Amino acid sequence: MKIEKEAIEIIERNPVAFATSTKDGKPHVIATAFVKVKSEKIIITNNCMKTSIENIHQNKHVSIVVWNDKWKGYQIEGVADYFDKGEYMGFVKSMKENKNEPCKGAIVITPKIIKQIG
Give the pairing type, strands 61-67 and 41-46: unpaired
Segment holding 75, helix H or strand E? strand 73-83
Mean pLDDT rounded to a whole number for the chain:
97
- Rounded distance, CA 72 to CA 117, Å? 6
Tens-digit pLDDT profile for residues 67-116: 999 999 999 999 999 999 999 999 999 999 999 999 999 999 999 999 99
Residue span of the structural domain in which 62 resides: 5-117
Q: State residue 81's pLDDT score.
A: 98
What is the domain count for the chain? 1
Q: How far is CA 70 from CA 23, 30, 35, 37, 67, in A?
A: 35, 22, 20, 21, 8
Residue 21: is it exposed, middle or buried by C-beta count within 10 angstroms (0-12/13-18/19+)?
middle
Which pTM value belongs to this model?
A: 0.96
Distance CA(74)–CA(7), nearest Å, equals 7
The enclosing H or E element of 117 equals: strand 105-117
pLDDT beyond 90 at 118? no
Instruction: Tell me: pLDDT of 45 over 90.
Output: yes
If you average pLDDT over residues 32-61, what whole number do you get? Answer: 97
The CATH number for 98's domain is 2.30.110.10
End-to-end CA, the chain: 21
